[in-house]
Chain A
Amino acid sequence: MSTFLQLTFAGLNVGFLYMLVALGMVVTYQVSRVESLAQGTYVVYSALIFGSVRDGLGWPLAALASLLACAGIAVFLYLLALNRLATRGETGPVIMLLGGALLFAELARQFWGLNDRSAKPWLSNEPLRIFGATVLPHSLLMWAGAAFLVIAGFVLFERTMLGKALRAAADDVEGARIVGINTKVMQFVSFQVAGFFGAAAGILLSPIMPFGWTWVFALALTGAIGAIAGRWEYVPVALASLAIGLFASYAGGYISTSWQDVYIYGAFIVVLLLLREDKRAGTRRRHRRGGSSGPRIENGRATASAAAGHNSAPVRVPEE
């Protein structure tokens, strides 16, 4: 029981981390239609900057420094990915963000070296005992902060006019413009929200988890797995990411840490295969290979025969 609880606590730390990373990707994708593989950058820079200036400035100013840095990085990545040249081709923005992540990972290596670093805690470092397991006050703060952010993000995204406009901006760009939505501003906002999620994760986790340059891509990968498993929808992605964190922790604790990644990716492949089987009608735009014999798409809506569905795998229709 206490081992299970201990693993759960550890799993929640990474689970909430993956969740914030994956939700940053979801927000960027739902508003700007870019799979942001640079999402790990925010977490790493936020954590490392926080750790570096925390002793000199005190934690509140250090947190502010991390948030500002990430806002700046978000501006840079927005300009990098969504400028006129990059958006000419369909894959341009993704490639640009991948390049951006490479750049920031390399810079982090130059500045902070090869080893992972953590920050000095600002809460008590005395673990609390809960049912035989121990948990640091900083972990509790991390869970509370992350849960708050995720819920706040949900309310903003799903329940406010701004949220509706944010999603509309990607759904139909021309439609958005003719109702007066400035789609560029919306895209900019999506990058800032994503940056803020990452920054918060970095600040909240830096006292309990060491970060370094290699995390830029590790996080992008895990975030992408959560985002894909949850089909780029806010709530499913949040749950999937949390599940991945917990799963990794249990797998590491009960089986072996050295094979942890293998379990994650193995489980991911299983999830992907299960998703392929799931063919609920009308939930997603579907396009099938195989020409005339297959069901057709008309006006983005699957016809009755497509709804009935059979073997061939669904492929996402590229959005304009």
Chain B
Amino acid sequence: MLRGKGLVAGYLGAPVLHEVSIEVRPGEVFCLLGANGAGKSTTAKCLAGVLGLRGGQVTIDDVDVTEASANERVRRGLSLVPEARHLFGRSTVRDNVLLGGWTRSRSERSASYDRVMETFPQLGRLLKRKARDLSGGEQQMVAIARALMADPRYLILDEPSLGLAPIYVDIILQKAAELAALGVGVLLIEQNVGKALSVGHHGAVVETGRVVLSGSVDELASDPAVVDSYLGSVV
């Protein structure tokens, strides 16, 4: 289980997260919902270790990784697709994807590479291009492919559909569901709340740095507040 307990964090000013607690079980898609600026990405960054905590604890399969750096957490099975993508702009698409398997052996890496390229056949013709020269949607695919290369046990997808055409959004969400079926714990942050909930198992809603609601996706989808704020007339 990937668990954040009482996470308190912020940037230079006042804290952004006020004791956020969240649990992602292996084999499930956990949907983190909330308005813009609610603190979803900040939660993701704290879990992945790219943002320091002011309070609280992060554990991966009951191992306390609160003090572990982001790169150490990758070795513990946690991968992040950040909202800002953070690709290696000067490197080729191929190298970007390969570097996703940095923590793994050469043979594991090449096996993963073949599998990832099967998932994203569109990347095939982009391999030699520099990542910074790709379109937003193409970059997003590279970012996801890169994260999958680590063969993570826990995967955080921060707005994976950002910039993607609707058909790819469906593919990505489908992929998230498949990964969960294989036992991966997926933390999904997604603006397409209806679609996210349709592949999710559990979820939570954050508002101004606090979890205000959590439960199964069915509970969330039937909650009047969620329906009002995020689903509207979609469902």
Give chain A's interface residues, CB within 8 Å of chain B: 161, 164-165, 167-168, 171-172, 174-183, 282, 299-301
Asked if residues A300 and B89 are in contact (CB atoms below 8 Å), the reply is yes
Contact indicator B103/A180 (Cβ below 8 Å): yes
Within 8 A of A (CB), among B65-110: 69-72, 74-75, 79-80, 82, 84-91, 95, 98-100, 102-103, 106, 109
Q: Which residues of A contact B90 (CB under 8 A)?
A: 167, 171
Q: Contact at A180–B48, with CB atoms within 8 Å?
A: no
- Given A161-B98, A164-B99, A301-B133: A178 in contact with B80 (beta carbons within 8 A): yes
Given contacts A179-B146, A179-B150, A180-B150, contact A171 B71 (CB under 8 A): no
Tell me if B150 and A282 are in contact (CB < 8 A): no
B175 within 8 A of partner (CB) = no
Residues on the B chain within 8 Å of A161, using CB: 98-99, 102, 106, 109
Give the dominant DSSP class at A's interface: helix
Determine how close the nearest CB of chain A comes to the CB of B53; give it in whole angstroms: 16
| Residues B91 and A179 in contact, CB atoms below 8 Å apart | no
Question: What's the Cα separation between A178 and B49 when bound, in Å?
Answer: 9
7 additional A-B pairs beyond A179-B146, A179-B150, beta carbons within 8 Å, are A161-B106, A172-B87, A172-B88, A174-B84, A178-B80, A179-B100, A179-B149
Q: Please, how many angstroms separate the alpha-carbon atoms of A2 and B232 in the complex?
A: 87
Question: Which residues in window 25-59 of B have CB below 8 A to A?
Answer: 48-50
Interface contact A177-B95, CB-CB below 8 Å: no
A300-B132, A301-B132 given; A178·B50 CB < 8 A: yes
Determine the chain B residues whose CB is within 8 A of the CB of A172 once the complex forms.
86-89
Number of interface residues of B (CB under 8 A): 35
B144-175: CB near A (< 8 Å → 1, else 0) gives 00110110000000000000000000000000
In Å, the complex CA distance between A160 and B79 comes to 23
Of A164, A172, A179, most B-chain CB atoms within 10 Å: A179
B133 and A171 form a contact (CB under 8 A): no
Closest to B100 in A: A179
Q: Determine how close the nearest CB of chain B comes to the CB of A222; give it in whole angstroms.
A: 26
Docked Cα-Cα span, A168 to B99, in Å, equals: 8
Question: Is A180 a contact of B133 with CB atoms below 8 Å?
Answer: no
Hey, which chain A residues are within 8 Å of B98, CB to CB?
Answer: 161, 164
List, in ascending order, chain A residues with CB within 8 A of B136's CB.
Answer: 299
Contact residues in A for B146 (Cβ distance below 8 Å): 179
Docked-complex contact A180 and B132, CB < 8 angstroms? no
- Say whether B91 contacts A171, CB under 8 Å: yes
Contact A178–B133 (Cβ < 8 Å) = no
A164-B91 contact in complex given A180-B71, A182-B71, A301-B132, C-beta closer than 8 Å: yes
